[in-house]
Each structure stands twice: as structure tokens, then as C-alpha cells.
Structure 1
Amino acid sequence: MKQVDFSTFTRTRVRTLHASGSSDVYITTHNDTGAEVVIKRTKITCPGDMKRFEKEVGFLEMCRHENLVCPYGLVRSPPVYALVLPVYARGSLFSLLHASGRTLTGAAKLAICHDVVGALAHLHACGVLHRDVKTDNVLVDEGGRAVLADLNAAESEALITADITTQARPTGGFFKQFVVGTLPYMAPELLRSVRGAAYTRACDVYSFGIALNEVLTQTVPYSDAMTEQVQLHTILEARYNHDLLTAAITAEGLRPAQRSSFGVGVGGAAPDKAAPALDAAAALAARCWSNDPGSRPTLPEILSSLDVALSVALGLWGTASRADLPFLVPMAHESDLHAAAKAAGDPTSAAPVTAPVSVPNTAPAMAPATAPALSDLLGFVDGLSSLLGLSGAPNKEGAPMMRVGWEASAGRRGADRMEDRHVLCSRPGVALAAVFDGHNGDACAEFCRKCLPELLLHQWTHAIEMTRVAPNKEGDPACIPEHVLAARVPGTALQATFIALHEGFLRSAGADDSGCTALAAVCTPHSVWLANAGDCQCHLWRGEELIRLTQEHTAALPAERARVEAAGATVSTTKDGKMRVGGIIQVTRCIGDRPLRHLGLSSEPEIHTVERTSVDKAIILASDGLWDVMSPERVLHCCNHTAKSPDMLAKRLLTEALDRGTDDNTTVVVVFLQDLNRVRVLVGVHMAECSEPDEDVIAALREALDARGLDSTGTFAQLEERLVDAVAVEQSPAAVEVVDVDALSITDLKELISKARMSFADCIDKPELRSRAREAAAALAKAESNYQSMFAQPTRTDDATELPSELLTAPEASSDKRALTEQLAALSLKELRGLIKEAGLSPDGCLDKTDLRAKALEALDRLKVPGAKHGPISAALFATETAAALEGAAA
């Protein structure tokens, strides 16, 4: 095989065809000719990968055949090991059958299967077993010729026989090297895990039988099979998962469904002209998947039978050549996205859903405080266009990039039941995030993932255009102010997008009975717009709290239950304690679910708008797999104690959910609304060097607390601490600058920690120093916040600080405490501790002298009570205070 220089091909991938743990397959172009080729690049991670690559190259050179893939050449340029293959115009047979929107004619089906079995028979004649026969490994060219590809799992029949006779070490009854292939196509003798059940020619015959029936019926194997064990998820599911399907194939003899007769048309369509030949081929498929390997026909027998069937089909079509056969006929489906959007109706005519949303009292207002400007809305269009590759310019020059991250897991349901999908993309000034929680299959969620950005851009642009043509002449009774029109754009566009997704999926070629719940968020520098239909949730991390922004649309919600009951549906409780519409589905709003639309299900989302504030940190979107097992309090704890990276936070939340036993697919999407690694630091403030606040202010605070019945040691201590921080900022007027903690040196980190009166002695490495530095920066920023909240309009003069008048209600306050404070400043650490103990308090929580002085003041308050017993230190202090008072009176 000819060796090719890898540098002759462009590094840009035209399209990725397949990606797995063993190889990447993609289309690229030749630098000189511009011709497109397919690169199958093997991932080399160990010596075994190298052997596997060389073995595949050897089989391709040894087993050349017109219906086996024939590479142009190979690349052996470490670290690149790849095959250069031709581009097959019609792609894989699996995609042609299930994603093209067309159906193959009966004669074309037989011709393709004839090609495949011819290639497979040639491999067996060369002593090679393919071991992964399936429609995804069959490629079809423009003329309808099929070739068998991917010999990555192939093995020499002689080597398998030798291994099975010589291997003697314990294996637990299972030879791992023979567990190859894809579950729906694997022979039952392999799935039973019987010792000595080597891969044989009969196993390839079984796999071909499954693929043959798939081609004839144009149905994914076992996709329509139902089990008697109903699984309680969002919807009552009776489909097989990996383990149940394995058991059914081996123990119950389950096989894919077959057409009773091809002489009867489907859906009112006329039967295929080659129906008799197709019926004969279906009977052949049933023989190929016999439970007894010895009863299966050999490949020469299958090839002979298909020769006869293809000849009959050609005769029925009135032609003697395959080249004259019609290949495809159109399906009665409409897959164009814009047609789907049009079918959904005029997006501006849909009124936003106004059902009340139950949120905590601390939640931000769901209605915008200020209407978005049209410039912001147009900026989103520019940003989304850039995301879709429709324009190269970002929406706003200099706008900050919102960092995004995600993590997803199938959980206990298994990888074959991963039905969650998500959309996550970010450009400067704009981010789009969405989570789709599929049920009863993943087709609907996958459709929404692919189509959401383009549909949203279409609807968003259309909504803006409608605002421009709306009546706006002065004096026109239909005049609508521009800011009112602008406020309608996001909700109108998001709602129309969800409806278009629903209608588009039902009309798409891949539509089935599956459905999904949907949650989408559009983030701009000033607002976050949300659309929710189903049981996914979005929470806002604002300041030190987590605020729930959406509600779950389930039958347990009174308003939703009333709505579906008004539509004629019933609501009942199943044995898992969940309320279900029609006894089947939990959610009342979703996309898809064609068989259940009569139950009053709606695809209209609830629209919410949140105005962003300076303390908004992130939004978290997740499917119910997370929220079913984690409380908002636990999620907030994870937010506060995880590295400030959206990827790390998403991973942490998902891991916690899995540890807590979630039994559902789980997807977590995180959008950081600000860079949490860049913190505001007050330069020049050393909190340990702050002087005490004015005693008049403290006295006024104490009187105010007394008047409201709030006088308590804890309350007063908290307020006093805020005053200390505020006075510290006032006495050291500090510039506020933004510092990237990750960019600081170890010395700078330690200096920052020391400024906040914190210790770094227990930090053993730089990551721990960075974590402690973030805490220190937060403490310093809190001091600034306290200052701004205590002194709303601070005014500095050369002599004094002007304070709010309500804090200056005691101009005649005694100077006794000031005198005591001065005395405390002269005490040693040992004397301060002794004074605190004399009042029955503990100095253990005091980290430095400033803390000890504050605790000593609290001790003096206790010792001032009539009848209190004084120790030597407090007695001396009060004696000094009395003498000073007498001197002042005499003066």
C-alpha cells in the first residue's frame, strides 16, 4: 500500500464523520488538487494500538475486493498513523437508512445486501473474520455500490482457533478478546459468556442477518421492542436497556421485528414492485439469526440466495442491469427548518405565558426593571451569528467573555440510555445555554440540540423586524413605545423558538414517539432571559445565596394539573409516588411526545427575565437528575468550595449527584456571569492596624438596639465589627483595583492574606495559598461593602468624617468607654486575656490583639452591671476610670 505524506493534506477538517476512543474519521482536502479525502487516524496510546493499526493495514492489502474499502494510501509519520480513504457520496448505510429522509427501493436494498455479503464471503475465504458487521460499517457511493469498511476489529480465524485451544489461565468463564462488536448485532453465544465460545464464521452470519432485516424494514434493530418491565422515569418506559436487551436476546430468543409481508404498502403507500423478492430475503434473515450456530446458512449459500432474489427484483422492475434501477424514493416528511418555523405560525402572535411563578421572597423580580435597548437585542443577533459562523465580528468590542462549562453522565441508566442533550456557546458579551432532558428516546432532544441556535436566530431577528414596522407615529392610537416593543423581543423569540422546535421535530424525517423537556438561557451584559418547558431548573448564584429562577411543569403543580384536566386528561399517582398525566408522563410541558399530545401537553415555555446585578456570579442549568438528589443549600456549598472554573464546578455538581445515587441522566451547564478569579482588592488597607471607631457612634448604635429590643451581645458584636471595617476603609482611603489571584506570586499571595488578618501557616502549596488569598480578597471586599452600606454618601474633610445623622443621636454620650478603650490599648496580651476571663468569657476565638480588645470591651460591658464581681485587672481599670471622671468634673 502506498505511503502518503500527511503534510500534503490540509489540517482543517471539512467534516468529522466519526470519533471514538480508538480513531478519528474526518474529511479533509489535498493541498495541491483540492480533492476531498477521508482520513481515518488511529489513536496510538500503547503498543497494542500500533499492532492493531498494522493488522488492519495487512488485512486490507491481503483481502482486496471490489466491495471492500480500498484506501488511497496510508500514513506512517509518528505520531500520525492513518488510512487515506475515498469519500463515498451517500455516506454510511445506517445514515442512508435512518437519517436521509428517503426510503430505498426494494431492488436497491437487495443490491446493497448482495454487495455486503460478497465482501464478507471474500474475507472468510481469506481466513479473516470481520467481527463487527453492521450498517454503520457499510459505505455507499453515488451509484449505489456498497463497500464493507472498518477492519479494526477483524482477526485471523487461525489465531482465534489457536488462542481458544492454548489459553489455560482462569478467565471467569469469559474471553475478553472475543467480546467484540455492537450489542444489537452480536450473536447470542457470545453474549452468554460461555467458556470456549470463540468468535466463528457463524457469528458474522448472525450479524449480517440482523443488518439484512434492518435494511429491509429500514428500522433500527430492537428500537420498537418493548419489555414487560416498566421503568419509572419522566415517562413510563418499556424499552430495553443494555442489560435487559442482553438477557432477552440470550434467554428469551428476542429478535428484531419483521414485516409480515412486503406485498402490503405502509401508510397507504403502494407496495414495492420487488415484494416477492423482499419476502424471500426476510425469510433468509430469520435463518441467519437462528439461536443454533449450526443451523445458520453459510455465506456462499446466502450469496446464492441473494443472487436469485436480486434477479427476481430486476425482472419485476423490467431491467437487466443495476445501473437502471431507481435507488431512492422520497418520504412524506418535511425537514426544512424554516418550513418548520413557518408551520409554527407567526412568532409575534403568540402571547407569553403568564402563569405565576413560585419563587422565594429573596428572588429577583421576574419582570425586568428596565426594558432592554434595541441595540442590546441587535448585539445578541451579532453574537449568535458569530456563534453559527454567519459573521466574524463579535457583538461588542471589548465586551467580556462569559466563561462556560458543562458535564453530563448517563448515570445508572447506562450509556445506551443517555437521552440528555445540551447547547452551550459563548462569544464576547453573549452566551447561549440550553438543556434538553429527553425521554422515551433521544431523537427529540438531539433534534433540539441541532436546531435551537439557528431557529432562535431566525425568530429573534424576525421579532426585532416586527418592532421596527410596528405603529410608532405620534398621534397614532396604535402607537407602541419602542422600549415596550424591545421588552417583548426576547420572550416572543424564545417562545416562538420552542414552538417551532416542537412542530419542526414532528415533521422531521427522524421523528418518533420520543420527547424532551427544554430549558434555554440567553445571557447578555445586562439581562438573562429564560425559557422553560418541563422539569429542568435554572438557579442564579447571586452574592451569598442561590436563587431558583424556574419552576417545574409537572402534574404536581396545581395550575398545570388544572390545565391538563381542563383539556380532558386525568392525573393519577403511580407506585413511585409521582403524579402522572394519563398515568404515563410526569411533565405537562415538553417538546415532541407525539402519541401524548391529546393529554393537554404544551410546548409553550414560561418566559422569565432577570436584570443582572454586580453580585451575580453564575447561572446553573441542570436536568432533574441533579435537583432530585441535591438541595439548593448543597449546590451553594459546592459553588463556594470549588475552584472558580465553570468546568470544575459542573464536574463537582455532577459527581456529587452521582455519589448521592441519582438514577437518571444528569446534565449540568454553568455560565459564569463574571470572572470569579479576578477579585476586587482594597490596596493599602491593613485591617490589623485599624483604630477603634468613634465611641459616640457605638453608643448611638447600642441605644438604637435597646429601643428596638435587639440588645444582644452577638448583634452588637456584628455591628461593631462592621464599624471597625468601615472606619478602617475611611482612615486608609484605598484605591480599588482588580487583581488576578492566579497571576500573583507566592510573596504577593502571602501579603494579600496578611492584609486581611488571616494566616497562611497551614497552606502547604501554592493552590492552597491561592484559595486562602481568594478568601482574604473577599474579606477585604466585604470591608468595602460594609463601608458603602454604612455610609451611603461618605464625605471626607481634613478634620472629620461626616456620618449619617441617625447615627449621631447621642451628642451627650459619656466618654467613659473611650477612656476604657485607651486603657485597654495599654494592656498586654496576657492582661487582656485575664480581663476576658474575669467576665466569664473565653479568649480562644481571638486571633490577634485587635480581636482581644474587642472581646475585652464586651467583657467590660458585663462587668459594669451592678453587683458584678471584679477581678484585679478590671478593678484597676474601673478605679482609673473613676479618677479620670472626678478630675474632669473638677476641671
Structure 2
Amino acid sequence: MNSVKELRYVQKDQLGGLGEPVAVGGGAVVYRSTLDGVPVAVRQPRITSAAALQRFQTQVELQHRMTVEARSRAWIHLGGKQVSVPVGLLPLLAVCEAPPFYCTVTPWFADGSLFDALHRSHDSRNWDLVQRLNWALQLAVGLESLHELGIVHRDIKTANVLLDGDRVALADFELSATLDSLSRTSAQKQQSGNTRDWASTDGPTRAQAGANVEPSAGPSAGRLAHMVGTTVYLAPELLSAVRSGWTFTYESDVYAFGITLNEIISGCVPYVDRRLSEPELHTVLETRFNELQLRTAIVTEHLRPSLDIDALEHSGGKRLGELIQQCWDHDPSKRPSMAQVVQHLTEIHDALRDGRVTGLTEARKVRPGLHPDPSCQVGREAITLRADAFAASAGKPTVVEIHQGHESAFAIANGLVEPAALLSSYFNEDSSRMALLARTLTGWYAKNRHQKPGMVTMAPAGFRQRSNWSTNPSGSEWRLEAEAFAVPGCRGSDRMEDRHFIECSVQVPAGWPKPSPDGKDMPVLHLLGVFDGHGSDAVADFAALVLPEAFRQLLGNASTASIQGMLRDALCITDVSWMQWCSEFTDQRNTQNGLVGSTALLAALHGSSLYLANVGDSRAVLYEERPDSSLEPVLITRDQNCTSAPMEIERLRHRGARLVPTGGALRVEGLVLVTRAIGDIALKQYLTADPELYQHQLRPNRSYVLVLATDGLWDVASNDDVAELIQRTVKLPGLLARRLVTEALQRQSQDNITAMVGLLSLGADPEKRTTPASS
């Protein structure tokens, strides 16, 4: 057995190559490499000055000291050897100081950051509370060790915690410092009168790409000399602009740990799950337009993230909730030490593991103004009750009875809905081939469902996706640049049910079709999709992954004569595949499966032709830019719901559906507002996934803006409102999407909100931007 006692110095050629970076930030680049045949992470800082070199050497000194002297140890296997490393901390294995190459070498954590694991991984749904508490306990032990050594971390957050199976380690010691040095710095600031509001420019940092966390910028480039940490994890005494002698302390680390502990237990990004006094504050992490207001609420109103009462009742009851609240207490002197936190967490963890936890003895209490929207919860409970009725009938070899006198056309066999009738209704003579494709897609989903489609845009950088600019020296090819921005809004416990995807440069078979006037092949197309789930996120999650794959499979066969037909077939086969998935891989008695669905809105750009396919009440609007820079909508999809589509209502009544007033609006059988959807197996007799199709020929002397958005935007903004907002915003798709979502929040939108914006131009310079019109 070995112990990392002496700091090991290595040369660059001793590393097994650097390859492509796995994370790039303003302060450093992280590579995956090997050392002595063992996978390692190599962090190469950007050193451009003597001050930067000094910071690097200080970081190495602190991390090596922590690696050697931390009292709580664990044995791990490295290269066939057992090595003693600190619990909950990222050990330093080696360092290279061979100018101009400087780097630190640490163990490779294959599962990435804890932030990614909690918020972007399907696996997070399967982690029980014992596992989550185990991670929290390791992190607490590591932080206790730092404090015992007189070190303050200053940047504790899940994005700086690495995960490898059951093991976690606190990383990113670039901002760490000894308490003595911080006290001296604070005293110097007081003497010099430098008390600037350093937190006012702070912003969320980017999560790790791949496996090792790298923030978006180091103090030497982007974080600024007076600014550290991430706003939502910073203690109120650090956020206060009026405090004259600010400094980081053990207590500020404890506060950040409390925020992090609640995030681990609840699975919620801090403050994203809250309904605050100002609507735009719901998503301060996403918009970054309201950090000043968030800081004010934290400091003056004692605002904190919501406690997951349900999780607490089953994990540590009242005791765990009290521990979290003690850690983030407004008064630093009332916060426990990390030694006390470790003691309490150990007792709670052991009690839960041994089955000795009891629930809360008091009634649930949530502070006024800090609870999820009650109407959302009421609606969720109502649909669950109706789904229970569906599930109860699923065990009988009869038809599903939704209301008296109305029966579903889809028979129940062995408790499962039979998808054959749906397949036949969509594809007629071609049903055999499409049945094979449905089986292929369900098998593909079974292997790939751990992937996460676009969901919430949040910091660290979330699910923003951007298409590549196509290259054509002749300038005769239409270009698309698209980004999406998505937030849960005020849904609270419902969380996020929207999804989206951007598939750029999808290969088109040679010779099919030829949309250009000169008959030339167009080898690629761009495909965009937005989904708005209801009942849960299950169908939207499924469709956002499966539909692009279905389109690629159909495109590869090139058996459909047109892109419009292919979009239609992709939507319908995704609907069939969901039913197939439920019948083969899930328990149809589950109350969710029968009344879970999603809208689907697709856009495809091929050559100079734009194609749209719509299922449900999300909306696409194509705006054409006029010579005077005004925007005119030239193509608008039709909302398919019970309140704004008379033709849809007539179709439903022809099929025998009842439109029952529920929650202030007509709903199909009193359950679903939309009239077309993927999923909703219990209502499949009425709700089809057969889309409405649109096509528009782009004019070569025009530029266009395409907006695809869920009804969370369109419920509070008209087409003209959106055009005006676009005109007043710099023409970058990400900024435009963010602006639309933020405006919807300010207008009190009560739903999840996703906005995808695409800029279309013919041979235009992608770097050329239009300045916003004066307001």
C-alpha cells in the first residue's frame, strides 16, 4: 500500500498524450490522459503573467497539503496499487512545471460532475436517498478536512463535485485559500476603503464537459480579481453590498454546503423550483438578467431554495430539514461547524440505511410565498385521480371506459393497450414495414434512454443547442443558425415537461429529393423539434429522443416521396413506438402511462424550402424581414386545442369525444386540452398524432426569423409582440430565445416555457448581426 506523501513532478512526455480537451474554460483546459497506464485528468492553466504563475503554485501547494494531511482517508486502486487519498476531496497525483507547460494531474472521475448527474441524467431517477446521503456525507467529510487544515474552499457547488460510481470528490481549488490569508486581505481592503459590490458581476459558471469540472473563467480571466463563487451558493453576508469588511469564512462554506445538500436531496437546481414575488426570478439561473434582485431577496428577505418535503419525510424527517436550514441560517454564528454537520449526517444516513427513520410528526410547513403554485398541484392531483380510474380498468379484458357511454376503440389485452389498431390507422397497407420500424425504435430507445434531450437552460451551461453553419463558397445555400432557451417557470413540483432538439446537417440520400430550382442535390437538411409534455415529462422525453432517430431511419430508406410525408411518418411512428414501449417495457397499470402525452412541433430546412409539422398547441411562426427591417409573419401554424380550433372540435365530436369543462376550459373527456398529441393512450381514440403540414419557399432576397415555442410563450404574447421583441434584440438566436422566455415570465406565464429561434439567410455572413431597433 502506498500513500501520496511526496509531490511527484512529471514531464509532459510521461503523460499518455492529451488529445482533445474535455473541458475548456477561461482559466484552464482539462484533458483526459494516462499516467503509468492509469486514466487521469490533466488540467493545464493559462499562465500569461507572473501573477498567474503564483496562483498556480499556490493552488498546487494547497491541494498537495490537503492530499497529504487530510485526516479522513480512504484506499483506492490506482494502477494496481492501493493508494490512500482524502475522503471527499480530489487528490493531487502529480504536477508538471516545465515552462511553458504547466499542469496538475488528478484521478479520472468517469461519471462527470454531480451537477450533470443530478440534473441531466436519467439515472438520477433511480438513486435512492441512501445513495444521495452517502454522497453528501463524503462531501461533508472532505470539507471538514479542509477546515481542519485552515483552508476555505470558497466555491462549493455541485458543478465542482466529481462523481465516479459511489465516490464523490470536491474539486476546483483555484479559489481556495487559507483563512489567515483571507483575513489579511480583508484587513487590507478595509484600510484601503475598497468595498465594491464585487458580487454584482458574478455569473453562473459552466459545468464540466465530459468528466472533470472546469469553470467558465478563472480569476485571471473573467471572474475578476474581486469576485469568486456562484451567486446562488454565496452566503448573504458575502452578497451584501453594504458590508464593509467582507471575507470568506468557514461559515460561508457551511452555507454553500447547505444549499448543495438540499440540491442533492431534492434534485432541484437552487431557486429554479421557487415561485418568488417577482415572476422573472423563477429562472434567475437561466436568464441571468435578475441577479441583483435575487441577491436582494437572499439578503433582505432571507430567501432560500425550497425544501423537498416529500424527500425529507422519507430520508431524515424533521432532523435533516432542520440541519439544512441551520447550514443556510442568515446569521453566520448560528451555523454548525462541518464537524457537527458530519456527525448529524452520519446519524441520519445510518438510521435511514438501517430502516430506523420515522416521518415528520408535525404538519408540513412551507413559508408563505415560497411554495409551488397550488393550482399546478391541484391539476396534477386531478389528472392522477382520473388516471387511477384508467389503470383500474386496465386489468380487465374489456375496453377502457372513460365516461359513461364513451368507450375507447383500443382493446385491452392482458392489461396492456394493443398498438396494432393504431399502427393500421396511421399506415394502412404499409403497416407491416412500419411495425418493424416501431420495434427497432423501441429497442433503440431501450439502449439510449440514458441520453438527455434539451430540457432546461440553466447554469452551468444547460441544454442550449446550436446548429452548425453550412459551408458553401458559392453562397447559394440557405443557412440556419438556431438555439433554444427553456425554463420550468412557476410549475413548482410539476417541474419541467418541455423538451427540444436541434439536429443539424442530417445527411440526405443522393438524388432525393431535389428542391433547388437548378435541380442540384442538397446533401443535408436541418431538423428542429419542440415538445410540450402533459401529465409528466415521460412522452416528451421519449419523443425528443426517438423522433430524430425515426426520421433518420425513414430518410435512410428514402421510401417516402416527400419531406412532408417523412415528417408525418416520423411523428406517427413515434406515437406507435410509445405505445409499443408501454406494452413491452413498462407496467400499463402505472397510473401515468395512460394519460401522459406531449405536443410535437417540427421544422425542417432543405434547400430553400422550409417544412413544418404540428401536433398540439405549440406554435411556429416564420417572420420575413422587410427592406425597412420590419418583420411580417408569413407562415403560422394553427393551435390544436379545445379553445381555439373549431375544426378540431368538430373532428373530436365526430369521433364521439365529450368536451367537458375542467379547470376553466373545455378538455377532451375533461382531461386534456390539446386535440392532437403523442401518447395519451387512454384517449387514443380521439387524440391523433397525425400532424398538420406546412411548406414555405424562402425568397433569395429576404432574411427570415423562425420561432418555435410552447404555449407558455404564446399564452401571454401575440405574434406581433414576438416580432417587436425580436426587432429590439441583437440578432443572435440565443439572445432572442432568452429574451422571449424572459418576457413571458414577466407577463406571468403559468406554464413551462421553451423558445427556439432560428435565423435563416442565403449566403449571408454568419458573423454579421443586425443591431436592435431603437425602442
TM-score, L = length of structure 2 = 0.55
Partner of 1:190: 238
Which of 53, 69, 91 is 1:70 aligned to?
91
For structure 1, the 5+ residue unaligned runs are 235-239, 265-274, 318-341, 353-387, 389-393, 468-481, 574-578, 678-741, 743-766, 768-891
Relative to structure 1, the CA distance from residue 445 to residue 121 in structure 2 (aligned partners, 3 Å threshold; closer, same or farther) is same
The SS at the match of 2:90 is: coil
Preserved CA contact (<8 Å) 1:459 1:494: no
Report matched runs for 1:486-505 at 5 Å: 488-497=565-574
Question: Quick one: which of 286, 289, 304 aligns to 2:328?
Answer: 289
SS of 2:91's partner is coil
Measure, in 2, the Cα distance between the counterparts of 1:421 and 1:48.
44
**Secondary structure of 1:519's partner?**
strand
In structure 1, what residue type is equivalent to 2:229?
G
Partner of 2:481: 405
- 2:449 corresponds in structure 1 to none
1:669 is aligned to 758
Given the superposition, is the C-alpha separation of residues 489 and 146 from structure 1 closer, same or farther in structure 2, using an over 3 Å criterion? closer
1:178, CA displacement in angstroms?
Answer: 7.0
8 Å Cα contact 1:434/1:518 also seen in 2: no
- Alpha-carbon offset, residue 69 of structure 1: 0.6
Alignment of 1:311-350 (within 5 A): 345=419, 348-349=423-424
Q: Give the direction of change, closer, same or farther, for the CA distance of 1:44–1:216 in structure 2 (3 Å limit).
A: same
Counterpart Cα distance in 2 of 1:175 and 1:615: 48
1:450-500 deviation digits (Å, cap 9, x = unpaired): 655334324656xx59x6xxxxxxxxxxxxxx96x9974442113434786
- Give, in whole Å, the separation in 2 of the partners of 1:106 and 1:651: 37
Q: Is 1:436 equivalent to 2:530 in the alignment?
A: yes
Q: Secondary structure at the match of 2:330?
A: coil
Match of 2:602 among 493, 517, 520: 520
What corresponds to 1:551 in structure 2? 638
Structure 1 residue 199 and structure 2 residue 220: aligned?
Answer: no
Shift of 1:651: 8.1
What are the equivalent positions in structure 2 for 1:257-276 lying under 5 Å apart? 257-259=307-309
Structure 2 match to 1:379: none
Aligned with 2:109 (options 78, 88, 103): 88
The aligned counterpart of 2:464 is: none
Aligned twin of 1:681:
none
Matches within 5 A, 1:627-776: 667-672=756-761, 675=763
Q: Distance in 2 between matches of 1:651 and 1:305?
A: 44
Contact 1:537-1:621 within 8 A present in 2 as well: yes
1:303 counterpart (342, 360, 365): 342
Q: Does residue 1:604 correspond to 2:689, yes or no? A: yes
1:198-277 superposed matches below 5 A: 198-222=247-271, 224-227=273-276, 246=295, 248-250=297-299, 251-259=301-309
Q: CA deviation at 1:92?
A: 3.2
Question: Within 2, Cα distance between the matches of 1:633 and 1:309?
Answer: 51
Tell me the equivalent position of 2:378.
none
How many Å separate the matches in 1 of 2:142 and 2:292?
A: 32
How far is 1:302 from its partner? 2.5
Aligned to 1:137: 160
* Structure with the bigger percentage of strand: 2
State the secondary structure of the residue aligned to 2:175: coil
- Does structure 1 conserve the Cα–Cα contact (< 8 Å) formed by 2:568 and 2:690? no
Determine helix, strand or coil for the equivalent of 1:198: coil
Superposition deviation, residue 101 in structure 1: 4.2
2:159 aligned partner, one-letter code: D
In the alignment, is the contact (CA less than 8 A) between 1:214 and 1:220 conserved in 2?
Answer: yes
- In structure 1, what is the Cα distance between the partners aligned to 2:564 and 2:197? 67
Q: Residues of 2 paired with 1:77 and 1:53: CA distance? A: 13
Partner deviation per Cα, 1:382-408 (whole Å, 9 max, x = no partner): xxxxxx9xxxxx9xxx99865332356
Q: Does the 8 A contact of 1:76 with 1:82 survive in 2?
A: yes
Give the letter aligned to residue 304 of structure 1. Q
Per-residue CA distance 1:191-250 (angstroms, 9 max, x = gap): 34341343221111122223334444555545554346667999xxxxx98667555544
- Where structure 2 has 5 or more consecutive residues not aligned to the other structure, the ranges are 1-6, 71-85, 201-224, 284-288, 357-415, 428-452, 454-469, 508-521, 747-752, 769-775
Match of 1:152 among 174, 196, 200: 174
Amino acid at match of 1:294: S
Letter in 2 for 1:190: L
Deviation of 1:167 after TM superposition, in Å, equals 1.6
Q: Distance in 2 between matches of 1:20 and 1:87?
A: 18
Equivalent positions of 1:361-400 (< 5 A) are none
1:115 to 123, 138, 144: 138
Cα distance in 1 for residues equivalent to 2:704 and 2:346: 62
Matched, 1:423 2:510: no
Aligned ranges 1:33-52 → 2 under 5 Å: 36-42=39-45, 52=55
Amino acid at match of 2:40: V
Instruction: Quote the Cα distance in structure 2 between the aligned partners of 1:289 and 1:232.
Output: 20
Q: TM-score, normalization: structure 1? A: 0.48
Aligned-partner Cα distance in 2 for 1:210–1:659: 25
* Pair 1:568 & 2:646 matched: no
Work out the CA distance in 1 between the residues paired with 2:648 and 2:47. 54
CA distance in 2, matches of 1:437, 1:563: 23
C-alpha distance in 1, partners of 2:41/2:538?
27
The answer to whether the 8 A contact 1:41-1:81 is kept is yes
Larger Rg: 1
* Aligned AA (1:668): V
Over the matched positions of the two proteins, sequence identity in percent amounts to: 22
Question: Aligned letter for 1:151?
Answer: F
What is the one-letter code of the residue matched to 1:568? L
Q: Corresponding residue for 2:552?
A: 457
Match of 1:61 in 2: 64
Residues 514 and 593 of structure 1 are in contact (CA less than 8 Å); yes or no, is this contact kept in structure 2? yes
Work out whether residues 182 and 248 of structure 2, in 8 Å CA contact, stay in contact via their aligned partners in 1: yes
- Would the alpha carbon gap of residues 208 and 507 (structure 1) be closer, same or farther in structure 2, given more than 3 Å must change? farther
8 Å Cα contact 2:527-2:603 kept in structure 1 = yes
The aligned residue for residue 706 of structure 2 is 621
- What's the secondary structure of 2:255's corresponding residue? helix
Partners in 1 of 2:675 and 2:52 — Cα distance?
48
> What is the one-letter code of the residue matched to 2:59?
E
CA-CA distance at 1:425 after TM superposition? 0.8
Equivalent-residue separation in structure 2 for 1:38 and 1:175 (angstroms):
31
User: 1:539 corresponds to which residue?
Assistant: 622
In 1, the alpha carbon distance for the partners of 2:128 and 2:743 equals 52
**Aligned residue in 2 for 1:833:** none
Distance in 2 (CA, whole Å) between partners of 1:442 and 1:189 is 38
CA distance change for structure 1 residues 491 and 231 in 2, over 3 Å: closer, same or farther? same
TM-align CA RMSD: 6.1
Aligned partners of 2:733 and 2:758 also within 8 Å: yes
Q: Counterpart of 2:570 in structure 1: which amino acid?
A: A
Alpha-carbon distance in structure 1 between the residues aligned to 2:111 and 2:318: 26
User: Cα 1:205–1:658, aligned 2, differ >3 Å: closer, same or farther?
Assistant: closer
Mapped contact 1:518–1:536 kept (Cα < 8 A) = no
Comparing 425-434 and 165-174, the one that deviates more: 165-174
Structure-2 change in CA distance of 1:442 and 1:172 (3 Å): farther
> How far apart, CA to CA, are the structure 2 residues paired with 1:593 and 1:496?
11
CA shift at 1:21, angstroms?
4.6
Kindly tell me: are residues 127 and 35 of structure 1, through their superposed partners in 2, closer, same or farther at Cα, counting changes over 3 Å? Answer: closer
